[in-house]
Structure formats: structure tokens, C-alpha cells
Amino acid sequence: MAEDIPFDRRFDAVAGVVDTVAPSVRRVLAPNPGPFTFTGTCSYIVGRGDVAIVDPGPEDASHLAALLDAVRGERVTHIFLTHTHRDHSGGLAALKAATGAPTYAEGPHRAARPLHAREAATLDSAGDGSFLPDVALADGARVEGAGWTLAALATPGHTANHMAFVLEQDGAILVGDHVMGWSTTVVAPPDGSMNDYMESLRRLGERPETLYLPGHGGTITQGSAFVERFLRHRQARETAILRALERGPRSIPDIVRAIYFGLDPRLAGAAGLSTLAHLEDLVDRGDVLTDGPALRDGIFRLP
């Protein structure tokens, strides 16, 4: 399944070093490598002179210093957020204090659906629940700067407030964590929604831009082809879940053991949450049954 996606893990960017990745875009990698962040979070600088920064990255003094050094002699006029996971938004307050630039994003961090009983305390701790943008962007909104225009493209799924930004001058899309070249995206309820994620993938794949600038890892030059592979991967994962349930009712840990092979133990929790996201969608469609709502500790069966 995931092995059918042509992942490129040969990402040699160095934290704190400025790389030009598109005619109007520079990238600065944050020093926060990990199993979910790959080699670190990518912050992007759009334009020259009067610039925008997309995703300030984690709360890290060295990364803030690298960003400010990269724009020395320039003026930061806008700060955009693709979403409010702290590896993207943690450095926002310090960057805003240093530059005075307003923030632009879809909206606050929130659950993708109403919470079930016992679930209130399980919202993703990586999410910045205190964030409010200075300017809330509707889908399709266009923000113009000095020689650049970013168009808002709502892409919920990884989080409810996930938003990509189309850089019209370069024919590129800053896709955040919605599509990455090194790994599939984690979709973790209740923050994320598999149905929303799949719809956002389809919408992204219908666009003409093929250059994607992701939140982690290197640039993707064949974006629409990648999206098609991701859609097929998720459809195959759904089929694998249904086949696992053909052998009888199962819990999520049982299903994960049946469908994930060679899984990094550090990713077992994420695999379980992605499986839950698929199961939520399958239960909503009536293809899988469970008692009550689809929950992490539920037992799932075929009709």
C-alpha cells in the first residue's frame, strides 16, 4: 500500500540554512526532527522586500533567530498558518512579537466533529487550542503582498482548520501537512476526519498546480500524481480493514496488527488513530458496525 507511493526521504536540508525552493519562496528548516516531523518543520518565506512567512514552526529560539536572520533588511508583513499543530504554530507568538505582522489562518484549533462521551480529554495535545487568527480566511480568499498573492484553499482532514495556500505567481501550493513527500499524513480523530481528508485530497488533485511545498520534507514536483497515489493508498487501507473484519469482530489494536507490517513501534498509536479515522468513515456509511459511536476502545464488525 504505502510502498506504492514514490516517497523521497533523501532530504538534505540543514536546520537554520536558507534554501530557495521556488522563484518567490525560501525555506528554513526547524531543528525539531522526530517520527512525526521527519527532519523538522519547514517554514517558508514568500516574496522579497515585504515578505510573508508561512508556518513559523515550533517554539525554538534558534529557529526564530534563523528566520529573522533570513529576512534581515526586509519587512515581514504577513504570517500565515496552515494549521495549529504546535510544530507549525509554536513559534508564532515570538515571531509576531518580533515583527508586528498580523496572522492569517482558517480559524481556531477545534475538533472535526462533536466529541463523544469520555472523549473531551483526548483532544490532540499537539494542537494549539488558544490560537485565534488576526484575520480568519474563508476558502478562496486572496491575500496580496508585494509581488505575491496567496489564495486560501481549505483542506480539512489532518486538522479541521487545515488550509493550504496557492502561490499564484509560482504555480505552487504550500500544502502544510496535507500531502508530504516522505510519508503519509496522520489523520487522528477527533482532531482529524478521514472523510474530510479524502475530499480535500480530491479537491487538491483537481487543481492545475503541480509544485507542492510541504510542511515536512522536500518539495513535490508532481503533486497531482502524488495525490492520486495517496487516494489509492487510503482506499487500499480501507479495503484491508474490511478484509481483516471478514475474520470476525476485532478491536483497533487487532486490526493494526493485521494490516500494518513492519510498523515502527513509535508510530503504533498514530496507526491506531488513522485506523479509527477509517472506521469512523466506514461506520457512518454503514459498511462497518459497532455499538454506539466509533471509539478507540470499540469492537468493530461487518454487517
pLDDT digits (tens, 9 = 90+) for 162-176: 999 999 999 999 999
Break the chain down into helix, strand, coil percent, rounded to 5.
30, 20, 50
Q: What angle do CA 43, 213, 30 make, to 5 degrees?
A: 25
- Among residues 55, 60, 87, 191, the one annotated as catalytic is 87
The pLDDT score that the predictor gives to residue 233 is 92
State yes or no: pLDDT of 287 exceeds 50. yes
Backbone angles phi, psi at 265, to 5 degrees: -55, -30
The pLDDT score that the predictor gives to residue 116 is 83
State yes or no: pLDDT of 303 exceeds 60. yes
Could you confirm whether 87 is annotated as catalytic?
yes
Q: What are the tens digits of pLDDT across the range 107-162? A: 999 999 988 876 654 555 688 988 999 999 999 999 999 999 999 999 999 999 99
Grid cell, residue 242, equals 474490511
Q: Decide: pTM greater than 0.85.
A: yes
Q: What are the tens digits of pLDDT across the range 235-286? A: 999 999 999 999 999 999 999 999 988 777 887 888 899 999 999 999 999 9
Cα separation values, 30 from 43, 91, 199, 202, 283, Å:
7, 10, 30, 30, 39
Q: CA-CA distance, 158 to 200, in Å (whole number)? A: 10
Query: Average pLDDT of 6-32?
Result: 94
Domain locations along the chain:
2-232, 248-300
Q: How far does Cα 259 stand from its chain's mean position?
A: 23
Q: Does domain 2-232 have CATH number 3.60.15.10?
A: yes
Neighbour-count burial of 2, counting CB atoms closer than 10 A to its CB (0-12 exposed, 13-18 middle, 19+ buried): middle
The pLDDT score that the predictor gives to residue 1 is 46
